[in-house]
A and B are shown apart, each in its own frame.
Chain A
């Protein structure tokens, strides 16, 4: 059983259903297999955490959903992305442009570069409102002030006319979130939105997104490398490695019933704040595989302490292990 069948089991048709998505990049050194056939679904109102290290394909997969992959060198080789009954990969660029920002919005990692420095923050948010919601300039301005207020920017009537450089990093990320939420999207994709921020500001942003998600009822996809951040905020988690989903499930299942050796390693790598002194961290030796020359067997084989010869020969597929949809791609999950 794979994730595909899982999605068919769900009663309502999900907001987003990704099946067998494959994204590659053609480079001078060869074909980089960034996303290698991933399938999952996201219901409306759900928060999904996509977790993995750099180069695991988590950002590329999000950009594929937004169809923001530069082609060439990129290529979405195969797969379907169903969003509200439409396959995004079959839409025209024009239809896609209408969808972006209005139905699916994205917040990027670096708040310093994702705002245009030559326009005021207010102008940039107003633009999006006028484009997608057909508002007049006056309406858009009022709505922008409301939005800035909503994301917790003090004195929004003054701040609306500020330029991005007058905002701190945390404030810019708030402004980016305000922009993303301006058209009340059904899905918010947040691509490591707090990585560049300080911990106390990160806590503010997480708190804000959780609050807004409850108020607006949208779905959120939170992409991160830090299993700690997503623990308290998401419902479901996809753990990605080398372009594959190697474990997925409800958040409690992932943390309490961790199955994949990689997920175990990731959790062990994090020092816990209440550990006993002298505890040694569990580290994952070695490096992720080269995405140009993917091993034919399990992608985690080279770093796995539980490996057997069979793991090198045949690639494991996601196997559902409980009724909540907890699934793992490992040959030996029963034994370890």
Chain B
């Protein structure tokens, strides 16, 4: 696992969704600033955690990375190739190297297709394999993700949520991708099944050496699986650091609050810790607050936070932050 080679570079990425778009009369005026000028890098073989609450833009980042959404501006360099300027037919070739695992195992598998044809879809598109070769590959993949290879002709509705997520993982692995973007792959699963899927993902990474971007809202699970963590809030990166840095020395007030909101499954520790409870709700990304995005809920906000947007800067080696008071 080399930590030095950059697999993916995201530079000043923005994705705005227009709202109230009319064809005849009302022209597009307002925007949801789902992702607002974020930059980060992903190294080969690592797992980058992307964590934040509803509306922070983490899913939009994931989808924009794979060009499922065209970014409003900014660059996404995958292995040195700028994806944002790539025409669709060349992008299609790159898609075999980056795959995605989706959040909802009930919606991410076409209910009218057999497990076999779902998993072999990437093979149909990107390879010239014969029918038999594909079948063998599919069975091999099923075995890899811990499912019975005889299930190729079964339909998704015959499986439970956790098993379906395994099918989704098998589909993502079919082409031996370099990068797998996991978009909240466990948040709709039961606790005991979550651990199964996370263990499987870790085991597969050890065996196949791919890079993960792991998107989630659950900081404890992200910390468990990631090497580095990006904390997002309202379309911006608040803090980016090594996972132990984030845990031991969180600098940003939002990261601190997020850490203290994580439930601790230990009554004694849970009772003794000092919780930071943030007031209020997450503002709407249509009207983000002026200055620092977090100023409406920040316990240490001062005048400057309402006037100037903090610069996203490198605090220590590999530890990035956007706050006036650190």
Name the segment of B15-23, B67-75, B259-267 touching the other chain. Answer: B259-267
Q: A204-B277, A273-B220 are in contact. List 15 more A-B contacts (CB 8 A).
A: A168-B281, A198-B53, A200-B261, A228-B220, A232-B270, A251-B267, A252-B267, A271-B220, A272-B220, A272-B264, A274-B247, A280-B199, A280-B202, A281-B195, A287-B163
Chain A residues with CB under 8 Å of B271's CB are 232
A226 touches B191 (CB 8 A): yes
Write the chain B residue with the least CB distance to A194.
B263
Name the segment of A29-37, A101-109, A157-165, A260-268 touching the other chain. Answer: A260-268
Whether B192 is near chain A, meaning CB under 8 Å from some CB there, is yes
With A207-B277, A275-B224 as contacts: A270 and B265 at CB distance below 8 Å? yes
Whether A24 is near chain B, meaning CB under 8 Å from some CB there, is no
Interface 1/0 per residue, A154-190 and B, CB below 8 Å = 1000000000000011110000000000000000000
B162 touches A287 (CB 8 A): yes
Chain A residues with CB under 8 Å of B221's CB are 271
Whether A125 is near chain B, meaning CB under 8 Å from some CB there, is no
Write the chain A residue with the least CB distance to B260.
A203
Whether A285 is near chain B, meaning CB under 8 Å from some CB there, is yes
Whether B160 is near chain A, meaning CB under 8 Å from some CB there, is yes
**How long is the Cα–Cα vector from A54 to B249 in the complex, in angstroms?**
36
**How long is the Cα–Cα vector from A255 to B269 in the complex, in angstroms?**
11
**Residues of A282-303 whose CB lies within 8 A of B:** 282-285, 287
**Residues of A239-273 whose CB lies within 8 A of B:** 251-252, 255, 265-273
Show 19 residue pairs from A and B whose CB-CB distance is below 8 angstroms, ordered by the A residue: A53-B190, A53-B193, A54-B190, A198-B54, A200-B258, A200-B261, A228-B262, A232-B271, A267-B265, A269-B191, A271-B198, A271-B220, A271-B223, A271-B224, A272-B220, A272-B265, A275-B224, A280-B199, A287-B193
Total interface residues on B, using CB and 8 Å?
47
A281 to chain B, nearest CB (A): 4
**Residues of B92-125 whose CB lies within 8 A of A:** none
**How long is the Cα–Cα vector from A207 to B264 in the complex, in angstroms?**
14
Picked from B243, B244, B247, B267, the residue with its CB within 8 Å of the CB of A255 is B267
**How long is the Cα–Cα vector from A277 to B261 in the complex, in angstroms?**
21
Chain B residues with CB under 8 Å of A226's CB are 191, 263
Whether A130 is near chain B, meaning CB under 8 Å from some CB there, is no
Chain B residues with CB under 8 Å of A269's CB are 191-192, 194-195
**How long is the Cα–Cα vector from A202 to B282 in the complex, in angstroms?**
13
**How long is the Cα–Cα vector from A198 to B262 in the complex, in angstroms?**
11
**Residues of B189-245 whose CB lies within 8 A of A:** 190-196, 198-199, 202, 217-221, 223-224, 243-244
Chain A residues with CB under 8 Å of B217's CB are 198-199
A284 to chain B, nearest CB (A): 4
A207 touches B265 (CB 8 A): no
Whether B278 is near chain A, meaning CB under 8 Å from some CB there, is yes
B191 touches A200 (CB 8 A): no
A19 to chain B, nearest CB (A): 28
B190 touches A225 (CB 8 A): yes
Whether B268 is near chain A, meaning CB under 8 Å from some CB there, is yes
Whether B275 is near chain A, meaning CB under 8 Å from some CB there, is yes
Write the chain B residue with the least CB distance to A278.
B202
B199 to chain A, nearest CB (A): 5
**Residues of B261-308 whose CB lies within 8 A of A:** 261-268, 270-271, 275, 277-282, 297
Chain A residues with CB under 8 Å of B268's CB are 252
Chain A residues with CB under 8 Å of B259's CB are 273
Whether B152 is near chain A, meaning CB under 8 Å from some CB there, is no
Whether A229 is near chain B, meaning CB under 8 Å from some CB there, is yes
